[in-house]
Each structure stands twice: as structure tokens, then as C-alpha cells.
Amino acid sequence: MLSVHQVTAAIAGRVLFSGVDLNVLAKDRIGLVGPNGAGKTTLLDILAGRRAPEAGSVDRRSNVRIGMLAQEAPCQIDRTIIDEATSGVGPLADVRHELAAVTEQLATLPAGDPGLEALIQRRDELNNEYERLGGERTEAEAKRILAGLGFAESDFLRRSQELSGGWRVRLALARLLVMAPDILLLDEPTNHLDLSAVAWLEGELAAYRGGLVVVSHDRSFLDAVVNEIVEVEGGRVTVYTGNYSAYVKERERRRKSAETSAKRREVELAKQRQFIQRFGAQAAWASQVKSREKMLAKLEKEAADEAAAAPVRRKPVTFRFPPATHSGRVVMDVKDITKQYDGQLIIAPLSFLIERGERISMVGPNGSGKSTILRLLAGIEQPDSGSIGLGMQVKVAYFAQHQADVLDPNRTVLEEAAADAPANTANERVREALGRMLFKNDMMTTQVGRLSGGERARLALAKLLLIPANLLLLDEPTNHLDIPSKEALEGALSGFEGAIVVASHDRYFLERLETNKLLVTEAPGVPAVVRLGTYDDWLDMQARAEAVERQIDQEAHARQEAETAHQQELEHDIARLEARRENISRQLADPAAFKEDGAWGDLLEEYQTVDARISGLLARRDAETAAASAQRAPAPKEAELVGART
């Protein structure tokens, strides 16, 4: 459906990649990976036709439909959310609105009005067009997709311009999924999604029938969604079969194989050079020397080609936080804290302990209060009630979700990194921290205002690595980080000896962090639940709960079907007996029934028997219906039960 041949792309004279060949077929699942700035988004733009390559060609099947999701929030015209979600399938919203207006006009026109016939004809035309565009089916699909991405039903008629940037990106993704193009190009689709929405999207893409090319730094998402990895790094593009985990293993295998091959080839090169040096000046060996020189040139070219094709050797990242004073066993004691905004309860009474060395992950949907809890723990805000007690000799370092936006744009990278470090921090130490977060020497004098979003996030993290803390509070620390930067942070945190509380939607990061306690938030005002165990334990618990819920639903459905069949059988019996009773009534009303001895009495007795059976069946039906309704009454939610117990 889509292919690129020998494509080259450059920005400001710097070649991002060259000689790229790539095919995208139906049902392909391709993940683009590589460090920020390597050219992943540029390659997506070329595939989408939004940018022309500097060299090479792009072939697209004439009727192929391509849809692309960009990282930035699109500036769509102001319309309702449901209208925007369905706008990709044609003028459905316009047809629906005109149809509503015409229907309203028809309701007000009196009979005999000269414009009545034209309006009726226009209504019929609009009805046909509405059906052709999918009409009710498309709207139902749009509502399903919007709900999966976190929109409430009450949001559907809101104006799209009321949404924040992150929710506009979600809406743009919903529009693409409703449109269902032949090829989906997605640039960081999980950046603004919480865990439940990411899980929903994974299932949606698994069932998607078109081709998919996705740029993502979410390693768990890539594992679940793609079956081919295209690495964009070091000016070249390399294809690997399998998901992200398979790519990591195969990349390392190729790197080791290339190193082994290079060592063997170097031995052979040394032999050839030694022979040429030893016999080069002797005429008797001239022909053999010339042959060896040709062989040497061939081996050197092969060595250069292998080196160019070998995976880039990435420098392992190791870093230790500066030592902090040893804290007491209890690092923080949180007792019955609450928080309201504009009269709405956000944090219901919450109590828990943070102990020395604990790693606590906060999980829950966006807007459920995780960032608020972290701000309260950091002292940025104060609770409306309750208390937060800091333990002995505890030093807190806090990374806010939007901290990267409050860096001083006029400082250099080096100046900003040193601004909040202890006064006695050596300049070399600051440079080392920046280097661990992948800032090269030539970046040290770059103004902060010229950095990308990912670079600002890495700078904020580098500053954090310079603070001698024994309690880290981290709010979405991996947002905007590419995979090498995430690995740098993971390496730094792995050696941290203090306590960590982290809110994150990055499942791979949480698994690597090996948290041992979970703070689960469900919704604003709903009591958060503290659970022991790792993030994997929580996922297992969620999976078991979902399996139990599915089993309950299946059993309930089976019961419902059995009840329906039983009720239908009762109704059939009642209808049959009522027909018999009606027949007997007609016979009793016929004078001929009195002419035959005993006939009338037999009919009356049968009538009474049938009538009694009907009364019994009706009573049984009503009793069973009432009992079934009582069984189907909703049970209290777990969160309500937890709140009641608390």
C-alpha cells in the first residue's frame, strides 16, 4: 500500500537518514524507535505525504487512505466533540444538522404550504445521505471509541475548543479510529493516555485491519502492539522482526556478533599488512604482494561495511545520587488528609506511611488525584484537614509533571543545572549529571529556551540528580523522554537508597523500578486504597478481577437467557390455557351445552380447573420476575465498601 525507496531526509543541512527502503502493507504493525532527534517524526511525515524527502521516492497506492496523529494538539475548527470524532468519515455532522433543521421546519409548516413538498423531498435526500454515511452506526462507533479514550458521555456535546492540549490529541486519535484509514501513522499516541486508556487502545489496534506505523517510547505498548521494529539511529534505518523485547535481544546479539566478526577480521587484516610490509620491497614477491594488497583492500571495505551496519554501541548509563543523611525508619506519616478545590472534594481522607527505602507507585486514571497527593506530600500545597509528618533527617526532592516548563529560559543548560545544586557542588559534578542525562559538551552552553520538550525534561531530571535527598517524589518523570533517557533515569534510580513515591503511566518503567507498595486512586473524592505488592502484582490482581467480572457477567447472561426462556415458556402456557378458557366460555354461553346430560357440568369443572391453573402460573410468573429484579440490583462498588470500612 505504501513504500519508500532510497529516501534521504535532512534538517538544516544535517542528514537524518539516507538510503531508506521501507514497505507498509495491510496488517503490518511497525514500531519506529530511536533517540529524540534521530528522525522518527520526519520519517512519519514523509510516509504521510506531509513532507518531501531530499532524495528518493515515495509510492502510494492511488486509493489508499492514510491517517496521521501528530504529537501536538491539532487546531481543528470549533465543533462539538461528537461532531469532530465523526468528521473523518465525510460531512456526517453537516448532514445531521441540516436534517434536524429541516425536520423542525416541517413540524411548523401548515398543511398546504407551497414549500412543504420541497422540504419533504430535501428531508428524504438527507435521510438517504445520512444512511449512506453510516449514520447511527458511525455515531455509535464514535461514542464507543470516545468512551474507550476516557471521554464521559456528558462530554460529547461540549465544544472541542474547550479541551486542553492533551484531550485534543485524544480527540484527534478518536477521529482517526472512527475514520479507520487503510494506514494509521501514530506519533506518540500514549503520551496523554492513562493506563486504562492505553490498555483499551492496545486492544483496539490489535483488532485494526489496516497497516500501522507508530512512534512510541512506551516499551510495554510496543510489546503489545507491534510485530516489527524499525530503528532510526546514527543516520540509518534498521529493520528487526518482532516486538520491542525481541528487538532489544536481537540488537544485542547483532552487536556482539559484529564485535566478534570485527576482531576476527582485524586479525586477518594484521596478517595481510604484516606480509605486505615484510615482502613489499622484494621483487621476487611482487605478484604475491600485489595479490595481498587487493585482498587487504577487499577486507578493509568489508570491515567498513560491517562496522556501518552494526548496531550503534550505546554507552551504559550508571549514576548514583549524592549521599544524603540516613533518615529514620518512618520517612513520612500521612494521617487523614483531605483536599478540596472550589468546593469539590478531590482527596478523600487518606492515611499511609512511607518507610525508609520503600518504593511506592501511584496508579489510577488521569484526574483521580495523583498529582494533588504528590504536591501535598512535597509541601507545595497544604491539606484542608489531616496532617503530614516528616520523619527525622528527611530531605525531600520533588519532580513535578510540568517542572520542565518552569526552567529559566535565559540560562544556559549548565547554569540551570547548577542553580539548585548544593553550594559546594563542583562544576565537574554538574557536567557529569548532565552527561548521564545524555547532554553532550556542546549542549552545555545552549540556552534553555532553545531546548525541545524532551531536552527540558532531561534537564529537570539532571537537576534532581544533584540534590542529596532521601525521599524522591516523582510525578510522571518519564513523560517526553526517549528510551535511552528513560534507561538513564532507571539506572540512576536503581542505586538510590532512599524512599521513592512515583506517579507514572509507564508500565515498563514501574516494572523496572520494582515498587513494593501501591497507592491506587480511582476518581476525585473516592478514597484511595493502599496495597502491598509490586506493580506486576497489581496488574495480576486487575486481570484476576476482570476475569472474575467476565465470569460473573457470563453467568448472569446465562441466567438471564434461562430466565427469558423460562418466562417465554410460562407465557406460552398461560396463553394456551387462556385460549382454552376462552373456548370453554364460548361453549358455556351456547344453549346447546344444556341439551346434553352432564355436558354443562363437565365444561364448568374444566373451566374452573383451567382458570385455577392460569392464576397459579400468573402468580408464579410475577414472583419470579420480582425475584430476578432483586438479584439484578447493583451491588455497592469496592471503593464504597472500602470507604465504609475506613
Residue 487 confidence (pLDDT) = 83
Q: Is 307 helix (H, G, I), strand (E, B) or coil?
A: helix
530 domain residue, yes or no = yes
What residue type is assigned to position 171 of the chain? L
Taking the alpha carbons of 103, 104, 108, 113 in that order, is the dihedral positive or negative? negative
Per-residue pLDDT, averaged over 285-313, amounts to 83
Other Cβ atoms less than 10 A from the Cβ of 171: the count is 22
44 domain residue, yes or no = no
Query: Tell me: the pLDDT tens digits for 31-50?
Result: 999 887 788 989 999 999 89
Q: How many percent of the chain have pLDDT more than 90?
A: 25
Same domain, 444 and 561: no
191 domain residue, yes or no = no
Beta bridge partners of 31: 214, 229
Q: Answer for the pair 1, 26: CB distance below 8 angstroms, yes or no.
A: yes
Which letter, b or e, does each residue of 594-623 get, where b requires 16 or more Cβ atoms within 10 Å of its Cβ? Answer: eeeeeebeebeebbeebbeebeebeeebee
Same domain, 536 and 561: no
Residue 72 banded pLDDT, cuts 50, 70, 90: confident
Same domain, 439 and 562: no
Residue 343 confidence (pLDDT) = 87
Same domain, 410 and 522: yes
240 domain residue, yes or no = no
Residue 325 banded pLDDT, cuts 50, 70, 90: confident
Residue 365 confidence (pLDDT) = 82
Beta bridge partners of 471: 396, 499
C-alpha cell at 74: 491539532
Q: Is 398 helix (H, G, I), strand (E, B) or coil?
A: strand
Same domain, 416 and 512: yes
- Identify the DSSP state of 28: -
438 domain residue, yes or no = yes
Same domain, 505 and 563: no
Sequence-distant contacts of 400-403: CB under 8 A, at least 24 apart:
400/371, 400/374, 400/375, 400/475, 401/371, 401/475, 401/476, 401/479, 401/503, 403/460
525 domain residue, yes or no = yes
Least Cα distance to 105 among 113, 136, 93 occurs for 113
Same domain, 337 and 366: yes
Q: State the Cα–Cα distance between residues 628 and 563, nearest whole angstrom.
A: 8
355 domain residue, yes or no = yes
Quote the mean pLDDT of the chain: 84
Q: State the Cα–Cα distance between residues 167 and 164, nearest whole angstrom.
A: 5
Same domain, 534 and 565: no
Query: Tell me: the pLDDT tens digits for 387-417?
Result: 999 999 999 999 887 766 678 889 999 999 9
416 domain residue, yes or no = yes
Q: Is 559 helix (H, G, I), strand (E, B) or coil?
A: helix
Query: Tell me: the pLDDT tens digits for 490-538?
Result: 888 888 889 999 998 888 888 888 888 989 888 888 988 888 888 778 7
Least Cα distance to 8 among 20, 22, 26 occurs for 20
Rg (CA), the chain: 35
Same domain, 291 and 348: no
Same domain, 462 and 531: yes
Is residue 97 scored above 60 in pLDDT?
A: yes
The domain containing residue 615 runs over which residues? 557-639
DSSP string, 361-383: EEE--TTSSHHHHHHHHHTSS--
Scanning the structure block, which residue is given the C-alpha cell 587487504?
A: 296
Residue 433 confidence (pLDDT) = 86
Q: State the Cα–Cα distance between residues 42 and 184, nearest whole angstrom.
A: 15
Is residue 143 scored above 60 in pLDDT?
A: yes
Judge residue 578's burial from the number of C-beta atoms within 10 Å of its C-beta, 0-12 exposed, 13-18 middle, 19 or more buried: middle
Q: What is the CATH number of the domain that holds 610?
A: 1.20.58
Tally of domains within the chain: 3
Is residue 600 scored above 60 in pLDDT?
A: yes
**Greatest C-alpha distance within the chain:** 145
Per-residue pLDDT, averaged over 340-365, amounts to 91
Same domain, 534 and 599: no
DSSP string, 56-115: EEEEE-TT--EEEE-SSPP---S-BHHHHHHGGGSSHHHHHHHHHHHHHHHHHSPTT-TT
Q: What is the CATH number of the domain that holds 501?
A: 3.40.50.300
> What are the CA-CA distances from residue 645 to residues 122, 372, 527, 529 (Å)?
61, 24, 11, 11
Same domain, 483 and 622: no
Residue 645 confidence (pLDDT) = 30
What residue type is assigned to position 322 of the chain? P
Query: Tell me: the pLDDT tens digits for 432-487?
Result: 888 877 788 888 999 988 887 778 888 888 888 888 899 999 998 888 777 887 88
